[in-house]
């Protein structure tokens, strides 16, 4: 896989006496979840197309600690965070890009208090930078613009970190006219996975959060639900399946949408 995607580890860069432009923080889902691995590959291919020198930590990367802290286990969070910070600082990492908003928020806003100070960028923000700088040319994208697309704002990129424009700008760059859901941007609605809810039994209620959100997306008439978070993708795919629409509606990360459009450089 690494050879196919031209992915090198920080250890390999160090052995060569070199430093990459960015560290790609793959995250737990992106590393181990079969669905999220597709997003990891798509983003890695975009980086290769743009000619970006990047590395991953590989087996040296541990969980960022987000689920532990959200679930109330501060000890485990700090243990994981300090271990990661020691490795990151050992490699003199300065800029981190990740496709997981949970990792993005934790690395950006919570690691500094423990001695981990880095420039942390979400992958949609970085893709926007690459397009704006001309490193990634999307002018001749073959993406089928007739397919209606709606976009789901993840909580940790949107309401927590205030980033609503970058993902929409990336989609607009390939002339996708987003059909917004009833609740979007600042008024967006959670997929149901945040705050460690992804890893616990659901609480009693009248509706499942992910199914309610999926229904809003289905009601737009979109054939693709664009997302930017592995947790959101899982929850929305399950929601779409609950309405037996999985054959008609696909949930895709923005990097996957660009790769489907055969982005050129």
Give pLDDT tens digits for 218-248.
999 999 999 999 999 999 999 999 999 999 9
Measured in whole angstroms, how far is the alpha carbon of residue 128 from the centre of its chain?
Answer: 14
The pTM of this model reads 0.92
Residue 4 banded pLDDT, cuts 50, 70, 90: low
DSSP state of 117: -
Pairing of strands 54-56, 22-25: parallel
Class of domain 139-260: alpha beta
What is the enclosing helix (H) or strand (E) of 69?
helix 66-70
Query: DSSP string of 134-170?
Result: TSSB-TT----TTS-EEEPPPTTTTTTT---HHHHHH
What's the rounded Cα separation, in Å, for the pair 203 and 140? 47
2-130 matches 139-260 in fold: yes
Domain 2-130, CATH: 3.40.50
Residue 2 banded pLDDT, cuts 50, 70, 90: very low
170 burial type by CB count under 10 A (0-12 exposed, 13-18 middle, 19+ buried): buried
Give pLDDT tens digits for 81-139.
999 999 999 999 999 999 999 999 999 999 999 999 999 999 999 999 999 999 998 87
Is the pLDDT reported for residue 264 higher than 60?
no
Beta-carbon contacts of 211 under 8 Å, excluding residues fewer than 6 positions away, are 239, 242, 243
Radius of gyration, alpha carbons of the chain: 18
- Domain ranges for the chain, please list them: 2-130, 139-260
Give pLDDT tens digits for 171-224.
999 889 999 999 999 999 999 877 767 666 777 777 888 999 999 999 999 999
């Amino acid at each position: 896989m690494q050879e196919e995607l031209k992915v090198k580890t920080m250890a390999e860069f160090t052995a060569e006496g070199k430093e990459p432009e960015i560290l790609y923080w793959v995250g737990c889902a992106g590393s181990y979840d079969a669905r999220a691995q597709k997003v990891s590959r798509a983003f890695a291919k975009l980086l290769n197309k743009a000619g970006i020198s990047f590395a991953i930590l590989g087996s040296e990367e541990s969980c960022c600690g987000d689920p532990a802290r959200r679930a109330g286990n501060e000890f485990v969070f700090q243990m994981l965070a300090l271990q990661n910070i020691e490795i990151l600082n050992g490699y003199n990492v300065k800029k981190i890009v990740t496709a997981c908003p949970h990792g993005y928020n934790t690395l950006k806003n919570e690691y500094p208090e423990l001695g981990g100070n880095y420039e942390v960028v979400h992958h949609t923000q970085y893709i926007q930078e690459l397009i704006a700088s001309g490193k990634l040319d999307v002018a001749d994208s073959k993406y089928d613009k007739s397919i209606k697309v709606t976009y789901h704002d993840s909580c940790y990129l949107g309401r927590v970190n205030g980033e609503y424009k970058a993902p929409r700008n990336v989609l607009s760059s390939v002339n996708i006219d987003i059909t917004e859901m009833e609740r979007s941007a600042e008024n967006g609605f959670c997929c149901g996975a945040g705050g460690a809810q992804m890893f616990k039994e659901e609480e009693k209620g009248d509706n499942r959060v992910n199914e309610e959100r999926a229904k809003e997306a289905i009601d737009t008439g979109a054939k693709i639900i664009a997302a930017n978070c592995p947790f959101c993708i899982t929850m929305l795919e399950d929601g779409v399946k609950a309405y037996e629409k999985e054959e008609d509606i696909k949930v895709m990360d923005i990097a996957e949408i660009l790769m489907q459009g055969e982005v050129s450089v």
